[in-house]
A and B are shown apart, each in its own frame.
Chain A
């Protein structure tokens, strides 16, 4: 896939963003100074060891947190200055999340977990359609505890894409899965991107997975160490970890 870098295709841009946490009497910088664009339709993999600030960056991109310095802009919107309510709306309409531990509501069935997202979105899919996309229609009435880890993650992906978000954020989506299941999940993400045209940002501490991304940003100690463009991203089944 070819990647253009023209301004018009930037969907979200992080400009000199920093995030300092105040822990008791000391300031702990989790993110120092990060500048990064997210291109429409790309798969940006953010890698880095634990403590490098990748989760903090994802939180800023996902509208779950605000930078203490710099800016995170989505279109005209500066996520650092808008109200809580607007930030919630941003999450509601623009962002889809996929977590390492799925975060499904245990007392809701697969289908109902997807309804949690579709019920308040602007132009959602039919929840069943989302289930179809992840190939789990036959599990619609199962509770999370009745599903395997891979299945739970697929439900979680279905929940994320069902509200047709602009950006899909995946936080270690394969972290709790075995290799084979992990590959299936990555394949699913790629297939959905092809079908639905979403922009995906995936964070992982697993450097091998970086090979499937269009671009790879490496974080270290709260700054972007490098951004590399993958001329030929690998298919998930070509990656081992």
Chain B
């Protein structure tokens, strides 16, 4: 009977695979995660990028915005005529205090003008519910959809909007989304989205011009440019700023610095990075393990290979046969990865929809990414298997059918240190020789446990850094219970007025002035906070966490600002406030302090007041209270004050940050810990099983000499324990280094990430590694029990 050899080899392949199903399953899982994360991240990246670009384009998000005190229509024309500008629109943007029917706490809002009819314009709206305004001067509002949703508003509801000094009873006519506010962070600061407290509302232009004391004028111009590259945009922005100087430019921002744009960009960049990092780690680990496992298989099947060759199988067929082991694992892993990616992409996009309001954000299917993912996975598997396949192919049949040469003897390098070596028991020597005589396998075990530990440490560090950052920003730097923002700077009477309100214990004035700071070619626009002498509610801290006294004259810069401006203590910077007299002065840098969120600088409140041509004014009042019982009364008082445009609670900002970022991070941490576990478990299990298969005969010898199963397992696991302990130890350092690198990489104007790792984390990581390695060893123990040690003894060497 003639049987074609192909199916036979296939049958052998399947049986060989089945015989190794447990360790293989772990490799497949690792491959699945590598492939899945590649496809998933690449798909999410495209989904987000597509949805963002589409949204920005369809709804004409402006490339720049310039805020002014008051600009006539001619100023808009001037911007439009600036070279490089495609179109421009003037609008009115006013801070407002919203009094919502179901809440005692006033909400800081931002009212933005829209034309009386719904026509295509820059920073357009996507109407979600209800209708457009019924007339040009109606007290009607379209609410940001997410804000309306969070507060349960629908068209037909009424809200109270305090604009300048008049409270308006406003009818909600609809809800809408805008490309300008994809990520809803409160307009009075903060870094975590808080839709319920982000009162973005749109009202008819005429109504706002009238109630904002801006008849026939605007206080913001938005524009679209032909070339939106950063350099071109900055050039255009400079020209515009110069041209509009007469109308009191208070702010000029390129699109990339719009808060929502900036957050979304950094998120998309992060996903892009994940697209390469996670697959590299997982497919790399799978490749290493495959190399060890298939290498062992070829060694074990030496005589089979010889026989197959003697029977006439070609070298290519043999090589392909062993390549197929890797390919098979890769295919199963890729299949798992495809399912994982398809399934997780939907979940991840659903999560992103909660944070980023993009109308077109959907989990789309990209066949080419699936092809790419599966190809990368197959290539990785082939690379991992090729060495073993080549070894199989190069065996000579006659030689292969004889038993392999006896294991090479010879001493290892450590034996040359007699003082060390002579103290070791034969068990230790056995373990050390096993490690040194299988350098590649030992390397894989060492490296993968190192990687898993480093991943754990960096994961924990993410958590600790965020906790530290929140603690630092919301507890060490600020001590107020609430801060009240004022429309215009006021004198000391403002503080006294707040102090007389219910529940208020102490009040500390603060003056926040947006200024241009520059030093030679380096410049930045940021808000300088003027603090009173003896400041207790806002306390900038130096590197060592010590409060820094505010000098009578000059500036205290945060480290990031100092770096951006390339200045040190003792240097001076050129400073120009964007309000008041807008005089440019030279200000000495007196001290440098540390912050992690945004760009800031500090000065004495009187000094800063003088710079804007005042004596002693404040536009923000920090207060402590006796307790939150009387806060409803307090809120009622505050709502009556037309000068108040915002009330922020420190607690709320902290809770919001913990609630959103903390929760998301919590999930990510659980996943990453499981991933580390899989890497450590999978690698230790596979290397241990390979080691065990090489030493079945030793197991038999030990058992027959009277060693218990436990004693034999203890001798065998020494190899993995030593390598894992070494990998884990070095992994602690590597993880620390990686956390430092990540902290450096996350150094933006918006955010710095302190590299914080609590000492106990090293203990946690060690404990988890012990758990992962112990789990792998428990499985190995099952295999040791299954070994027929009597048979193992009978095999001829």
Chain A residues packing against B (C-beta within 8 Å): 59, 62, 64-65, 85, 88-93, 95, 97, 99, 101-108, 112-113, 115-117, 119-121, 142-146, 159, 176
Contact = CB atoms under 8 A, between A and B. Distances in A.
Contacts of A89: 706
Nearest to A112: B426
B256 interface: no
Those 5 A-B pairs whose CB atoms lie nearest each other, nearest first: A92-B706, A143-B409, A106-B407, A91-B706, A145-B409
11 contacts: A91-B704, A92-B707, A93-B706, A101-B796, A103-B700, A103-B793, A105-B430, A116-B426, A117-B705, A119-B425, A144-B409
Contact of A145 (B406, B701, B794): B406
Given A107-B433, A144-B406, A120 B793 contact: no
A92 to B, nearest CB: 3
B790 A97 contact: no
Interface in B756-797: 790, 793-797
A97 B704 contact: yes
Contact of A105 (B410, B701, B706, B708): B701
Contacts of B697: 103
Contact of A101 (B433, B703, B797): B797
Given A92-B707, A103-B701, A108 B426 contact: yes
Contacts of A64: 703-704, 790
Nearest to B708: A88
Q: Indicate the member of B410, B426, B434 with the most A CB atoms within 10 Å.
A: B426
Residue of A95, A99, A106, A119 with highest tally of chain B CB at under 10 A: A106
A106 B704 contact: no
B430 A108 contact: yes
Contacts of A59: 790
Given A59-B790, A92-B707, A142 B425 contact: no
Given A101-B797, A106-B407, A116 B434 contact: no
Nearest to A141: B411
B425 to A, nearest CB: 7
Contacts of B797: 101-102
Contacts of A113: 426
A108 B698 CA distance: 11
A120 B425 CA distance: 12
B790 A65 contact: yes
B701 A106 contact: no
B790 A120 contact: no
B46 interface: no
B705 A91 contact: yes
A102 to B, nearest CB: 8
B713 to A, nearest CB: 13
B437 interface: yes
B702 interface: yes
Given A103-B697, A103-B700, A143-B410, A112 B707 contact: no
Contacts of B434: 107
A89 B702 CA distance: 12
A186 B711 CA distance: 32
Contacts of A62: 704
A111 B409 CA distance: 14
B272 interface: no
Given A64-B790, A65-B790, A108 B429 contact: yes
B708 A107 contact: no
Interface string B415-440: 00000000001100110011001000
A152 B594 CA distance: 72
Contacts of B702: 116
A99 B793 contact: yes
B437 A107 contact: yes
Contacts of B406: 106, 144-145
B402 interface: no
A146 B701 contact: no
- Identify the interface centre among B407, B697, B706: most chain A CB within 10 Å of its CB: B706
B408 interface: yes
A107 B430 contact: yes
A99 B434 CA distance: 24
Contacts of B790: 59, 64-65
Nearest to A59: B790
B707 A88 contact: yes
B640 to A, nearest CB: 86
Contacts of A90: 706
Nearest to A169: B704
Nearest to B702: A116
Which of A105, A119, A143 has most B Cβ within 10 Å? A105
Contacts of B708: 85, 88
Given A107-B434, A120-B705, 10 more contacts: A91-B705, A92-B705, A101-B796, A101-B797, A103-B701, A105-B698, A107-B407, A108-B429, A116-B702, A144-B406
Nearest to A113: B426
A59 B434 CA distance: 30
Contacts of A142: 409
B435 to A, nearest CB: 10
A220 B700 CA distance: 27
B637 to A, nearest CB: 82
B706 A88 contact: yes
Nearest to A93: B706
Contacts of B704: 62, 64, 91, 97, 103
Contacts of A95: 706
Which among B409, B700, B705, B797 has the highest number of chain A CB atoms within 10 Å? Answer: B705
Interface string B711-728: 100000000000000000
A129 B307 CA distance: 46
Contacts of B437: 107
Nearest to B698: A105
Given A59-B790, A103-B697, A105-B701, A115 B426 contact: yes
B409 A97 contact: no
B682 to A, nearest CB: 26
A91 B709 CA distance: 13
Nearest to A107: B433
Contacts of A119: 425-426
Given A101-B796, A101-B797, A146 B409 contact: yes
A204 to B, nearest CB: 15
Nearest to A175: B796
B710 to A, nearest CB: 10
Contacts of B793: 99, 101, 103
A120 B706 contact: yes
Contacts of B711: 120
A116 B715 CA distance: 11
A88 B707 CA distance: 7
B402 to A, nearest CB: 15
B692 to A, nearest CB: 14
A53 to B, nearest CB: 14
A122 to B, nearest CB: 10
A146 to B, nearest CB: 5
A106 B408 CA distance: 8
Nearest to B431: A107
A92 B706 CA distance: 4
Interface string B668-703: 000000000000000000000000000001101111
Which of A62, A85, A108 is the most central at the interface, judged by chain B CB atoms within 10 Å of its CB?
A: A108
